[in-house]
Amino acid sequence: MMNNSQLVATTYAGLEEVLAAELLALNADEVQPARRAVYFSGNEEMIYRANYSLRTALKILVPLRTFKIMKADDLYHQAFKIKWEEYFDADKTFAVQSTVFSDLFNNSMFASLKLKDAIVDRFRRAGSKRPSVDTRNPQVQINLHIANNSCTISLDSSGESLHKRGYRVGNHEAPISEVLAAGMLKLAGWNGEQSLFDPMCGSGTIVIEAAMMAKNVLPGEIGRKYAFQHWKNYQSSLFEKIKSETDHRKPDFKLYGSDISRGSVDLAFKNAEKARVNDLIKLEVADFRTSEKKTDCGFLVFNPPYGERIETGDEAFYSMIGERLKHHYPETEAWIISTNDCLKSIGLKPARKIPLFNGALACSFRKYELYKGSRKE
């Protein structure tokens, strides 16, 4: 189907450079960071590899057509020109996912409907039966992006968002996204070759992503499926070859996680087991208020409760974190993600501030360097 095509990997705001570095490490061509995305080029093999291997991508899109529209019907006419029957068979279910910033469409549902009609009519004209729409669990996903009068229609090669690695069992009230956790570790300069501690680990996402990096367990290994497996030209032997190339490492250090909630720690253990990294992770029920530095660990990364999870008593809680770090974590590098308001109360001077989003919440990811002699006696 494709030689070297232009491709797009989407991600969260603030992780574009990290994702670009990951793509370069995969030997992708023409890598160019954009807003919440990285453009690159590659063939089928690169599409499969990017989906299976990238830790900080959300979707891998294959743009089919970019054009200008002056009225709503232009979308139908342009979409009808795409030879959809060459990309997937009529017995596959499909869905359209739209992002629309344009006065031409009252809502994204209307734009999706126009595109859906064009696809179905195209199959009919090609003498085929019409493919069915399945909005809940489609085999093939089409991505529509409209900004003012500029429109791009893409095949979504990922299907479900790539942050869904497949290791989550049960529900945790506010887990951090797997992609954000991996991105934070990379932004913090953690190299996968040293011990790490998350003292408020919740369901374990940060330590699990760290363990996967340390062992070189790729995101796709846990057993998820991809939309490209339903494409007409899908080469299962090529994908099997990519899957067989993984070379796992056996680190000689531990990653630590603790949480005040027994339920969270139990869940974290089950998640780590499913991700096949429980041999590298030590978990315990513990309160940060009484915690001490682990002798072999000078690197902390954590996501304390904030926003929707904690309202009253923010100042006291964050002030406690600052005091604890200052007095009980000498010679430590601590990275914390939270809202700017909460972090004001920590009482420590950050060495770095990186703006990030956790869901819709604007956050700051901050580095604190803690030295033995830093506190005022």
Chain centroid to Cα 137, Å, comes to 20
Give the β-pairing of 140-147 and 94-101: parallel
- Residue-wise pLDDT for 155-164, tens only, equals 999 999 999 9
SS3 content of the chain, % helix, strand, coil (to 5): 35, 25, 40
C-alpha triplet 344, 353, 364: angle, nearest 5°:
60
The pLDDT of residue 315 = 85
The pLDDT of residue 100 = 96
pTM for the whole thing?
A: 0.94
The pLDDT of residue 377 = 38
The pLDDT of residue 161 = 96
Chain centroid to Cα 214, Å, comes to 18
Residue ranges of the chain whose pLDDT lies below 50: 374-377
Number of H helices, E strands in the chain: 10, 14
Name the residue type at position 15: L
**What is the edge-to-edge ordering of all strands in the sheet holding 5-10?**
29-33, 37-42, 5-10, 59-68, 150-156, 140-147, 94-101
The pLDDT of residue 282 = 97
* Domains of the chain listed by start with CATH number: 5-156 (3.30.2130.30), 178-217+227-370 (3.40.50.150)
- Residue-wise pLDDT for 299-356, tens only, equals 999 999 875 555 556 789 999 999 999 999 999 999 999 999 899 999 999 999 999 9
